[in-house]
Amino acid sequence: MATNVEAQITGSVWKIEKAAGEAISEGDVIMILESMKMEIPVEAPLGGRLAEICVSEGQSVDEGAVLAVIE
Amino acid sequence: MIRACRALGIEAVAVYSEADATAPHVREADAAFGIGPPPARDSYLNVAVLLRAMKESGADAVHPGYGFLSENAAFAEAVCDAGAVFVGPPPPAIRAMGDKAAARRRMLEAGVPVTPGTGLLGDVEEAVVAAGALGYPVMIKASAGGGGIGMLPCEDEAQLRRGFASAASRARSSFGDGSLYLERLVHGARHIEIQIAADAHGGVIHLFERECSIQRRHQKVLEEAPAPNLRLEVRDAMGEAAVRAARAIHYQNVGTLEFLLAPSGEFYFMEMNTRLQVEHPVTEWTTGIDLVQLQLRLAAGEPLGLAQADVKQRGHAVELRLYAEDPAKNFLPSPGEITRLVWPSGPDLRVDAGVENGSKVPPFYDPLLAKLIARGDTREAAIARAREALGALVIEGVKTNAALLARVLDDPAFRRGELSTSYLSRLLQRKPG
């Protein structure tokens, strides 16, 4: 079962903290978004393996965009 | 700012990024220059492009506003080197206050009280020893910091050890400088600041205080003047300290000294904002002095034309900051399109807004949408006017903190003037209603 991690806000990708293939636990910060001068950490909703990072640093993202996939 | 220019017979040139091409200020100005793509580093922080707009427009002076490069000494220097006037203090004065640790030393030398604290710290072990001597709780601060970034309160050694490295790395990534120092954390303190103005001829005055304790993430939400329940002798001592501070760094133009006021009545210098403050309207409405016009006059080399005794505080003013954010989700920003908007209007009310009906609120900049400023003969009257204005405000399409502002205005503790910098977090811990 794959779970999509979505952006909860429109903004840009400031920093990616994890790499595809890594094992992650629930609550781990996968990446940090930036919106309106605020850093917004994107946390893993569940533990598993990070199958894919779908964005790159500096990229603009809309609310609801898929940022990463956890298996 | 455009209106202040007009009042003095000066033409105003606006600059805008692609995200702000349809913003109200672009239409209101006499001319407007596009300066690039939405991200601030490509437009509003791009000195070369700004200087080109300045030259092409033939502008004689640059007003840096209150964000972006307004406290950047290198930008101020670049403007001066290009033969124009920077509407603000001389670059060395900006520099003197920009390095927070050095500023504390300068203030101590000038006889301005500062919070007990340390110099720059080499590593976490040095911090632990210094904190032991200082006494907990302490606050980690970034020397190059501002806007609350890199600040971390620590109740004990364990928290200090855990937080030190991450505070340093945040300071490094945000300001390019990871130097940290510690200050003793003063419990129950209020944030009160003094507005000063200084000319190029040695004249320095203060324009009284603003109460700014109501904050979230170390950013202000509601400000007022005068500060409620502030003893006159404390206020006067703060005013005198602010003038001493400005003299010590040969300051010119308008600026603000931020102080922490402890429940004991002792106050400590925190930092100086070497620019116009967001909350300047509450001072304008209680002193009758237009601070932007004053800035322009001072930048042109005019004398203050006012002695301290000429500045009087009359009535009361309250400013509400309307942010595009969701207080229920820990103040998560809420960019989007404003689908419906009705500003309140009427006497004793001023709305300084950057948006209008149909505006897109971009994710690139600060979430401040507008400032609602209300005044009255008394604090009660000003609060009542502000509350009435909030009731008449209609804004849809983005989430805002309007309901939270109403809750503050309705709160009996706020009405009694029982304020501290932890006021808002305490209010949020209580159930609404």
Contact A35 B363 (CB under 8 A): yes
Question: Cβ(B183)–Cβ(B119) under 8 Å?
Answer: no
Give the domain range for residue B137.
116-184
B354's enclosing H/E stretch is: none
**What CA–CA distance (Å, rounded) separates B384 from B111?**
40
Which among A9, A36, A40 is the nearest to B365, CB-wise? A36
Which among B147, B333, B364 is the nearest to A9, CB-wise? B333
Query: Which residues of A fall within a CB distance of 8 Å from B363?
Result: 9-12, 35-36, 60
Q: Measure in Å the smallest separation between the Cα of A32 and chain B Cα atoms.
A: 13
Q: Quote the radius of gyration of chain A (alpha carbons, Å).
A: 11
Tell the residue number behind the tokens 């203030």, with chain if given. B107
Decide the pairing of beta strands A11-16 and A29-35.
Answer: antiparallel
A-B C-beta contacts closer than 8 Å: 37
Considering the domain architecture, whether residues B246 and B226 belong to the same structural domain is answered as: yes
CATH number for the domain spanning B169: value is 3.30.1490.20
Look at residue B105 and tell me if it is in a domain.
no
pLDDT for B306: 95
Tell me which residues of B are annotated as active site: 275
Look at residue B104 and tell me if it is in a domain.
no
Give the number of domains in chain B.
Answer: 3
Q: Does B414 touch chain A (CB under 8 A)?
A: no
Considering the domain architecture, whether residues B387 and B311 belong to the same structural domain is answered as: yes
Query: Which residues of B fall within a CB distance of 8 Å from A38?
Result: 217, 332-333, 367
pLDDT for B218: 81
Look at residue B224 and tell me if it is in a domain.
yes
Determine the 3-state secondary structure of B363 from DSSP: coil
pLDDT for B433: 53
Q: How many residues does chain B have?
A: 433
Considering the domain architecture, whether residues B394 and B336 belong to the same structural domain is answered as: yes
Question: Cβ(B45)–Cβ(B331) under 8 Å?
Answer: no
Name the DSSP class of B114: B
Determine the 3-state secondary structure of B302 from DSSP: coil
CATH number for the domain spanning B43: value is 3.40.50.20
Beta bridge partners of B131: none
Q: Note the ipTM here.
A: 0.74
Question: Cβ(B214)–Cβ(B221) under 8 Å?
Answer: yes
Q: Does B364 touch chain A (CB under 8 A)?
A: yes
Q: How many residues does chain A have?
A: 71
How many contiguous H segments (helices) and E segments (strands) does chain A have? 0, 8
Domains of chain A: 3-70 (2.40.50.100)
Considering the domain architecture, whether residues B90 and B162 belong to the same structural domain is answered as: no
Which of B160, B184, B208 is the endpoint of a domain?
B184
Which among B332, B336, B365 is the nearest to A37, CB-wise? B365
pLDDT for B148: 67
Look at residue B305 and tell me if it is in a domain.
yes
CATH number for the domain spanning B418: value is 3.30.470.20
pLDDT for B146: 67
How does pLDDT run along chain B (433 residues), one tens digit per residue? Answer: 999 999 999 999 999 999 999 999 999 999 999 999 998 889 999 999 999 999 999 999 999 999 889 999 999 999 999 999 999 999 999 999 988 888 989 999 999 999 889 889 989 999 999 999 999 999 999 888 766 677 888 999 999 999 998 888 888 877 788 899 999 988 899 999 999 999 999 999 999 999 999 999 888 999 999 999 999 999 999 999 999 999 999 999 999 999 999 999 999 999 999 999 999 999 999 999 999 999 999 999 999 999 999 999 999 999 999 999 999 888 999 999 999 999 999 999 999 999 999 999 999 998 999 999 999 999 999 999 999 999 999 999 999 999 999 999 999 999 999 999 999 999 998 876 5
**What CA–CA distance (Å, rounded) separates B299 from B85?**
7
Q: In one letter, which amino acid is B68? A: F
Is the model more confident about A37 or about B284? Answer: B284
**What CA–CA distance (Å, rounded) separates B192 from B333?**
26
